[in-house]
Amino acid sequence: MIKKRFCLVGAALAIFTLGFGAQQANAQSGQPRLVGTYGDWQAYVFFENSNKVCYMASQPQKKQGNYTKRGEPFALITHRPADNTRDVFSYVTGYSYKKDSQAEAVIDGSSFTLYTQDETAWGPDADTDRALVKAIREGSKMVVKGTSSRGTLTTDTLSLRGSGAAYDRISSECK
Protein backbone atom coordinates (compact mmCIF):
# COMPACT_ATOMS: atom_id res chain seq x y z
CA MET A 1 0.00 0.00 0.00
CA ILE A 2 2.73 2.49 0.93
CA LYS A 3 4.69 1.68 -2.23
CA LYS A 4 1.61 2.35 -4.39
CA ARG A 5 0.95 5.62 -2.53
CA PHE A 6 4.61 6.62 -3.03
CA CYS A 7 4.32 6.01 -6.78
CA LEU A 8 1.21 8.20 -6.87
CA VAL A 9 3.00 10.90 -4.92
CA GLY A 10 6.04 10.65 -7.18
CA ALA A 11 3.80 11.17 -10.19
CA ALA A 12 2.19 14.14 -8.45
CA LEU A 13 5.63 15.61 -7.81
CA ALA A 14 6.48 15.37 -11.49
CA ILE A 15 3.14 16.93 -12.38
CA PHE A 16 3.58 19.77 -9.96
CA THR A 17 7.14 20.47 -11.01
CA LEU A 18 6.00 20.77 -14.61
CA GLY A 19 2.78 22.61 -13.89
CA PHE A 20 3.13 25.04 -11.01
CA GLY A 21 2.68 28.47 -12.50
CA ALA A 22 2.18 27.20 -16.06
CA GLN A 23 -0.87 29.03 -17.28
CA GLN A 24 -1.19 27.97 -20.90
CA ALA A 25 -0.18 24.31 -20.85
CA ASN A 26 -2.06 21.82 -22.98
CA ALA A 27 -3.83 19.31 -20.71
CA GLN A 28 -4.66 16.98 -23.59
CA SER A 29 -0.97 16.44 -24.32
CA GLY A 30 -0.20 15.50 -20.72
CA GLN A 31 0.88 18.97 -19.63
CA PRO A 32 -0.93 20.39 -16.58
CA ARG A 33 -3.42 23.17 -17.25
CA LEU A 34 -4.20 25.74 -14.56
CA VAL A 35 -7.98 25.78 -14.07
CA GLY A 36 -8.11 28.30 -11.25
CA THR A 37 -6.34 30.23 -8.53
CA TYR A 38 -8.15 30.35 -5.20
CA GLY A 39 -6.46 32.40 -2.52
CA ASP A 40 -3.10 30.76 -1.93
CA TRP A 41 -3.95 27.54 -3.81
CA GLN A 42 -4.00 26.65 -7.49
CA ALA A 43 -6.03 23.92 -9.19
CA TYR A 44 -4.73 21.93 -12.19
CA VAL A 45 -5.94 19.28 -14.63
CA PHE A 46 -4.02 17.05 -17.01
CA PHE A 47 -4.36 13.74 -18.82
CA GLU A 48 -2.11 10.76 -18.16
CA ASN A 49 -2.56 7.78 -20.50
CA SER A 50 -5.92 9.30 -21.53
CA ASN A 51 -7.04 9.44 -17.88
CA LYS A 52 -7.92 12.73 -16.25
CA VAL A 53 -5.95 13.74 -13.14
CA CYS A 54 -6.75 16.76 -10.99
CA TYR A 55 -4.64 18.31 -8.26
CA MET A 56 -4.33 21.42 -6.16
CA ALA A 57 -1.07 22.89 -4.90
CA SER A 58 0.36 25.57 -2.66
CA GLN A 59 3.75 26.67 -1.39
CA PRO A 60 4.65 27.86 2.11
CA GLN A 61 4.59 31.55 2.95
CA LYS A 62 7.27 30.99 5.60
CA LYS A 63 10.20 28.54 5.57
CA GLN A 64 12.36 28.15 8.67
CA GLY A 65 15.50 26.08 9.18
CA ASN A 66 19.25 26.37 9.32
CA TYR A 67 19.93 25.13 5.79
CA THR A 68 22.14 26.44 3.01
CA LYS A 69 20.57 24.69 0.04
CA ARG A 70 16.96 23.65 -0.41
CA GLY A 71 14.56 23.20 -3.31
CA GLU A 72 11.05 24.61 -3.37
CA PRO A 73 8.61 22.91 -0.97
CA PHE A 74 4.91 22.49 -1.76
CA ALA A 75 1.74 20.70 -0.69
CA LEU A 76 -0.47 18.71 -3.07
CA ILE A 77 -3.88 17.07 -2.99
CA THR A 78 -4.51 14.78 -5.96
CA HIS A 79 -7.55 12.99 -7.45
CA ARG A 80 -7.02 10.14 -9.94
CA PRO A 81 -10.48 8.82 -10.88
CA ALA A 82 -9.11 6.10 -13.19
CA ASP A 83 -7.12 4.67 -10.25
CA ASN A 84 -10.08 5.16 -7.91
CA THR A 85 -7.99 7.43 -5.67
CA ARG A 86 -9.06 10.76 -4.22
CA ASP A 87 -7.73 13.08 -1.58
CA VAL A 88 -4.12 11.88 -1.79
CA PHE A 89 -2.11 14.35 0.29
CA SER A 90 1.61 14.79 -0.24
CA TYR A 91 4.22 17.27 0.87
CA VAL A 92 7.40 17.73 -1.13
CA THR A 93 9.97 19.37 1.09
CA GLY A 94 12.79 20.40 -1.26
CA TYR A 95 15.40 18.21 0.43
CA SER A 96 15.82 14.52 1.28
CA TYR A 97 14.24 13.57 4.57
CA LYS A 98 16.26 11.76 7.20
CA LYS A 99 16.03 8.00 6.56
CA ASP A 100 13.21 6.28 8.50
CA SER A 101 11.98 9.61 9.87
CA GLN A 102 8.49 11.00 10.11
CA ALA A 103 7.22 14.49 9.43
CA GLU A 104 4.33 16.24 11.11
CA ALA A 105 1.56 18.43 9.74
CA VAL A 106 -0.33 20.57 12.25
CA ILE A 107 -3.52 22.21 11.03
CA ASP A 108 -5.14 24.61 13.48
CA GLY A 109 -4.11 22.44 16.43
CA SER A 110 -4.79 19.01 14.87
CA SER A 111 -1.62 16.97 14.36
CA PHE A 112 -1.02 14.39 11.61
CA THR A 113 1.98 12.06 11.39
CA LEU A 114 3.42 11.77 7.89
CA TYR A 115 5.71 9.06 6.58
CA THR A 116 8.71 10.14 4.54
CA GLN A 117 10.80 8.84 1.69
CA ASP A 118 13.35 10.84 -0.27
CA GLU A 119 11.83 14.36 -0.63
CA THR A 120 8.19 13.43 -0.03
CA ALA A 121 5.96 13.02 3.01
CA TRP A 122 2.43 11.62 2.92
CA GLY A 123 -0.29 10.20 5.13
CA PRO A 124 0.04 6.50 5.99
CA ASP A 125 -3.39 5.55 4.63
CA ALA A 126 -6.57 6.78 2.94
CA ASP A 127 -8.29 7.52 6.27
CA THR A 128 -5.48 9.84 7.30
CA ASP A 129 -5.55 11.50 3.88
CA ARG A 130 -9.30 12.14 4.17
CA ALA A 131 -8.87 13.64 7.65
CA LEU A 132 -5.94 15.77 6.45
CA VAL A 133 -7.85 17.03 3.43
CA LYS A 134 -10.90 17.87 5.56
CA ALA A 135 -8.67 19.82 7.98
CA ILE A 136 -6.97 21.63 5.09
CA ARG A 137 -10.30 22.60 3.53
CA GLU A 138 -11.67 23.90 6.83
CA GLY A 139 -8.48 25.29 8.38
CA SER A 140 -6.59 28.53 8.17
CA LYS A 141 -2.94 27.50 8.63
CA MET A 142 -0.82 24.37 8.19
CA VAL A 143 2.64 23.93 9.69
CA VAL A 144 4.79 21.08 8.35
CA LYS A 145 7.87 20.00 10.31
CA GLY A 146 10.53 17.58 9.15
CA THR A 147 14.18 16.66 9.48
CA SER A 148 16.59 16.57 6.56
CA SER A 149 19.06 13.77 5.87
CA ARG A 150 21.70 16.09 7.37
CA GLY A 151 19.71 16.51 10.59
CA THR A 152 18.35 19.99 9.86
CA LEU A 153 14.91 20.63 11.34
CA THR A 154 12.62 22.63 9.06
CA THR A 155 9.29 24.28 9.77
CA ASP A 156 7.14 25.44 6.86
CA THR A 157 3.97 27.48 7.30
CA LEU A 158 1.28 27.42 4.61
CA SER A 159 -1.85 29.50 4.34
CA LEU A 160 -5.00 27.46 3.72
CA ARG A 161 -6.86 30.47 2.31
CA GLY A 162 -8.69 29.31 -0.81
CA SER A 163 -8.07 25.60 -0.20
CA GLY A 164 -11.79 24.81 0.09
CA ALA A 165 -12.56 26.47 -3.26
CA ALA A 166 -9.55 24.83 -4.94
CA TYR A 167 -10.69 21.45 -3.59
CA ASP A 168 -14.23 22.04 -4.89
CA ARG A 169 -12.78 22.84 -8.31
CA ILE A 170 -10.62 19.72 -8.61
CA SER A 171 -13.52 17.63 -7.30
CA SER A 172 -15.84 19.01 -9.99
CA GLU A 173 -13.19 18.47 -12.67
CA CYS A 174 -12.50 14.88 -11.53
CA LYS A 175 -15.87 13.52 -10.46
Number of Cβ within a 10 Å radius of residue 164: 16
Domains along the chain? 2-173 (2.60.40.1880)
Cβ 8 vs Cβ 88: under 8 Å: yes
pLDDT tens by residue, 38-95: 999 999 999 999 999 999 999 999 999 998 889 999 999 999 999 999 999 999 999 9
pLDDT tens by residue, 99-134: 999 999 999 999 999 999 999 999 999 999 999 999
**Which has the closest alpha carbon to 94: 121, 115, 128?**
121
What is the pTM for the complete model shown? Answer: 0.84
